[in-house]
Structure 1
Amino acid sequence: MSEPWYPAPFLGPVFEPGVEPVIATGYKYHPAEIALHGVESHKAIDFDAPRGTKILAPADGYYVATYGEFALTNEDGSPKTLSLEGALKGNPRNTDLKAPAGKGEFPIFFGSYVIQGWHGKGRYTQFAHVDWVNPKIPFYKSVELKDEQDKPTGDLAFSPVLRAVVSEYRKPSVAVKLKAGEVIGELGMTGCGWGQRCMKFAKIGKDGRPDFRGMDYTYYTEPHLHFMTFGKRVPRSRKPSAIWDPFGLYGQYDGGYPQAVKDWGNKLEGAKHNPLWL
């Protein structure tokens, strides 16, 4: 009998000891966020924690990074806008947002400074909205998008490196192999600019790599790590074939987790945290 494709547990914690993040969003968006993004499915866990919190590699693997940022629009193509009152209304997690100066409605954007890891056996992890990426991890520049008249729109698409196939991930020229527990980045709120694109505030390195640490950009939801674990069967696709509860908080596995991970997961399951898979 062949081994089931659904993976065994393989992840450790993504934060250092002493960090106690809050699960703010699970698989389904909050109604206020559905209105912003136009979809119900979140496909990840949002861990709320202070900006600058270190993010750890939860497993041995091959890691890459890129950046993307898009203007959010209404069905008629007009820019989506948001006021401070609108951001706070009906969304209790927006307690640590950073609003633009002044009153009224401001345009909003969506995207991320993102790290992706490949861990063998069709298993991937993704870490979004980071402020900084470990320089060991190769950074791939965004693709600048243009309109029908070939003029830049200002939107930045993620590099195709996120669609890399297994043979490419194993090349040192494409991805870097890291051990579980190594620092891969710092938590932020990149991509979710409010009033201006976050990229306008970045320090850009020689390799085109942005650094948002200490930058005073504005964002419409509180700092968090968007953490996704998924499988991918279709080469060159960014679309996952399966989404997994990464720490088995809801009993999807019978065992196999180290006790430290079980303890960490139980702590996250406390009454003040939202369920993952609504």
Structure 2
Amino acid sequence: MTSKLHSWFLNANVNSRADLRLFCFPYAGGGASVFREWSRFFSKNIEVCPVQLPGRESRGLESPMTSLTQIVQAIVVEIEPLLHTPFVFFGHSMGALIAYETARQISKKYGKHPVHLFVSGRSGPRFPYTKKKLHQLPDDQFKNELRRMNGTPEAVLQNEELMQLLMPRLRADFEVCETYAYIQDQPLQCPISAFSGNADYDVSVASLAAWNEHTLNEFKLHMFDGDHFFLHNQQENVMQTVIDSIHPIPAIPAQKQVVHTGNVIWL
């Protein structure tokens, strides 16, 4: 394994007993550490590989990328040696878009498909991220938007020196999301599961259900207690839902149907 490969995919090929790889794509401003606890939860046959984008944590000296196309093109090249093992993609918010577009490009370039795609905290790709260009806002307004989203601790927002370090990465990530333009293509062959917080008022149930359009296979929508960053306070429930969704792996694509069960909408 090259050091470049390991810079993109943490833990890759660490577990020799793994028969499934779970690639985890972080939200805007986040790094691979978002998923640092996941390896402890999954069984030994699942290798959790958090994706580390340029400009954060172990890659903090690199310039962040500002285009989703640029990010996906780089990932598709670097991930190829790891695709000989069955794989699953999980992405939250910006990471959901990256995971989806990476799955599309891998299908085209290598003819390989994820066992399952999990998209969390993000509307279907044909829905714009926001009507405003947040990445172009003055610093004070930009910080207010971060505060509203409730993903950045107030102590961090009040730390001017730290925010000067974080601001370029955050602006770059918001630019990635806000300049993304969906191009219609064939639906994916793998099942898709969409996750959301029931108090995430920026992502409607209807826009989440639109992910149904992007798979030829089964689609499920799961709601969790929490806001846009439910991923943290519902971490164990999220991970258990992932496990339940991939074990056992269905051999034949299921026919789509609509069933309502508690706070989970099955599609």
TM range (shorter): under 0.3
Task: Judging by fraction of residues, say which structure has more helix.
Answer: 2
Task: Judging by fraction of residues, say which structure has more strand.
Answer: 1
- Give the number of the structure with larger relative contact order, counting CA–CA contacts within 8 Å between residues 6 or more apart: 1
Bigger Rg, structure 1 or 2: 1
Output the TM-score relative to the length of structure 2.
Answer: 0.28
Output the TM-score relative to the length of structure 1.
Answer: 0.27
